[in-house]
Amino acid sequence: MLKKRQQLPQEQCIDAANFIYCLEAVHDIEIDQVTEAQKNLEQLTLQYGVASIYKTCDTIEGLEASLNTLVLEDHNFKDYEIIYLVIKGEANSICLNDYYYSLQEIAEIFEGSLKGKILHFSNAKVLDLDEEEAQYFLDITGAKGVSGYGNEINGISSSNLDKAFFNLFKEDDDMLAVVEELHQRHYNVCKLLDFRLYY
């Protein structure tokens, strides 16, 4: 059921101090197609030398299995600073094959297993949590932060800003400094897409 869709050559991975782990929701994992997210991750490697692993899922079980494989079996897990989710959904939920799951449900599935990680949502979904929802997610999963965008796509993909965000982490692992730098360098796009971080 799990398909590893794109693995970068080993020597590229070794050079990079940190990785991006991207999980994209697709309609059917059996259909092999190169997505926009995949192309962007390739550019991220070519432009910035940031390595990534890309997987797809089409069910909540697939999402769970992919993240569990990462957490339990991937010995490089400590090197993944960011888990990049390209999944549709609403303010406090994700949508997989027409089923909605709240971030509270997701938190309970990954209880304690995202220690020190940042979950970053592309603007395929709006991220809008109240203080209590955000705190619950962070407390239960152990994640360091959850980031994403308050505004919908409106014809603009967040992919270029996502790449800039990931690249800044290569230079600095202080999450707040990175977000500040991102706003300084890309103020207009951050404003337009309403970049937000819950920590």
Distance between CA atoms of residues 40 and 44, nearest Å: 6
What is the pTM assigned to this prediction?
A: 0.86
Which of 18-22, 150-154, 164-168, 178-182 is least confident?
A: 150-154
Q: What is the number of other CB atoms lying within 10 angstroms of the CB of residue 67?
A: 23
More confident residue, 94 or 77: 94
What's residue 180's pLDDT?
Answer: 96
Asked if residues 16 and 49 have their Cβ atoms less than 8 Å apart, the reply is yes
| Architecture in CATH of 4-198 | 3-Layer(aba) Sandwich (3.40)
Question: What's the whole-number mean pLDDT along residues 106-125?
Answer: 92
Nearest in space to 134 (alpha carbons), one of 103, 89, 110, 159: 103
pLDDT at 28 over 80: yes
Mean pLDDT of the chain: 86
Question: What's the whole-number mean pLDDT along residues 69-93?
Answer: 83
* Domain ranges across the chain: 4-198
Here the tokens at position 147 are 């980031």
Residue 156 DSSP SS3: coil
What's residue 4's pLDDT?
Answer: 38
What's residue 108's pLDDT?
Answer: 93
What's residue 68's pLDDT?
Answer: 82
